[in-house]
């Protein structure tokens, strides 16, 4: 599959928006006196103080959408570098990128795509946990149960456990463990962990038979697609699908 960036949509609502709605009737602000006509979009926003006298207002984005989009764009940029090099088309047994710059740019973009995609999944999982949810789990004993709040789960429960126990319990769906999307997730997690926790021995000069972090990065499949399939597993069990997920602009086939 050759990845391509999505075309610019004529729809004014960006797919990365967290949430929005429309006025069902004309409304006059009690603070400013300004009238907003029926059909005006109401968007949740975030306000940032740039200086003491200046504030910036931005529409609230969905973190998973932002991160997956960035991951996809980084992967597309990496593939363009790789395609330009011709290393996949030549019949030569020994190949190289056309320059050191291209080789390093490719690796950088792949690292960016892998880390951002994995972070998108973490954001999705934490957002899906209801604020009033408590997770009963065994704590240092097969007898004693501990009730963990959303904040505790987000901070101390591993992502694997969230995916195999917490979210299936919340959404009343099967665990993804053992499925095709789980294999992709575990592979990407391994590469991401090696990137985040770079070991000296893992990034040394080596022959082709040695499994270095560079080899893992070069051979990684499209990160945004691997993560999107995990998210798809859970979204399929949701009554209300996230807006961004319904309008995801990248092909996953």
Residue-wise pLDDT tens for the chain (253 aa)? Answer: 445 455 554 446 899 999 877 777 888 878 778 888 877 777 788 899 999 999 999 999 999 999 999 999 999 999 999 999 999 898 888 999 999 999 999 999 999 999 999 999 999 999 999 999 999 876 655 555 578 899 999 999 999 999 999 999 999 999 999 999 999 999 999 999 999 999 999 888 888 888 899 999 999 999 999 999 999 999 999 999 999 999 999 987 6
Specify the pairing of strand 134-138 against strand 41-43: unpaired
How many residues appear in the chain? Answer: 253
- Provide the token pair at 25: 């009737």
pLDDT for res 9: 47
Helices then strands, each counted (H, E), the chain = 9, 8
213 CB-contact burial (10 Å; exposed 0-12 / middle 13-18 / buried 19+): buried
**Quick check: 170 and 130 in contact, CB under 8 A?**
yes
Tally of CA atoms within 13 A in the half-sphere of 55 that contains its CB: 5
**Predicted TM-score of the model (pTM):** 0.85
Measured between alpha carbons, how far is 209 from 103 in angstroms, rounded to an integer? 20
Measured between alpha carbons, how far is 61 from 47 in angstroms, rounded to an integer? 12
Domain residue limits, the chain: 20-59, 63-246
Site of tokens 């910036």: 56
Measured between alpha carbons, how far is 144 from 130 in angstroms, rounded to an integer? 24
Closest Cα partner for 222 from 5, 63, 65, 71?
A: 71
Three-class SS of residue 32?
Answer: coil
pLDDT for res 32: 76
- Provide the token pair at 81: 């570098």
**Quick check: 44 and 20 in contact, CB under 8 A?**
yes
- Name, in order, each residue with C-beta under 8 angstroms of 99's C-beta and a sequence gap of 6 or more: none
């Amino acid at each position: 599959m050759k990845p391509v960036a999505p075309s610019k949509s004529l729809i004014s609502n960006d797919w990365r928006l967290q949430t929005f709605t429309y006025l069902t009737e004309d409304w006059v602000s009690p603070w400013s006196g300004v009238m907003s006509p029926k059909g005006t979009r109401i968007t949740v926003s975030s306000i940032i103080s740039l200086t003491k006298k200046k504030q910036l207002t931005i529409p609230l984005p969905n973190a998973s959408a932002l991160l997956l989009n960035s991951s996809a764009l980084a992967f597309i940029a990496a593939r363009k570098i790789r395609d330009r090099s011709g290393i996949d088309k030549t019949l030569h047994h020994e190949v190289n990128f056309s320059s050191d710059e291209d080789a390093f740019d490719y690796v950088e973009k792949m690292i960016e795509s892998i880390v951002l995609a994995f972070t998108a999944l973490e954001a999705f999982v934490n957002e899906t946990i209801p604020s009033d949810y408590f997770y009963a789990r065994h704590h240092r004993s097969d007898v004693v149960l501990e009730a963990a709040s959303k904040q505790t789960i987000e901070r101390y429960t591993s992502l694997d456990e969230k995916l195999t126990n917490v979210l299936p319990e919340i959404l009343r769906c099967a665990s993804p463990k053992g499925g095709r999307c789980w294999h992709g997730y575990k592979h990407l997690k391994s590469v991401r962990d090696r990137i985040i926790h770079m070991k000296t021995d893992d990034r040394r000069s080596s022959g082709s038979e040695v499994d270095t972090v560079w080899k893992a990065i070069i051979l990684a499949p499209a990160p945004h697609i691997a993560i999107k399939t995990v998210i798809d597993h859970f979204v399929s069990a949701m009554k209300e699908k996230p807006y961004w997920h319904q309008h995801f602009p990248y092909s996953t086939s």
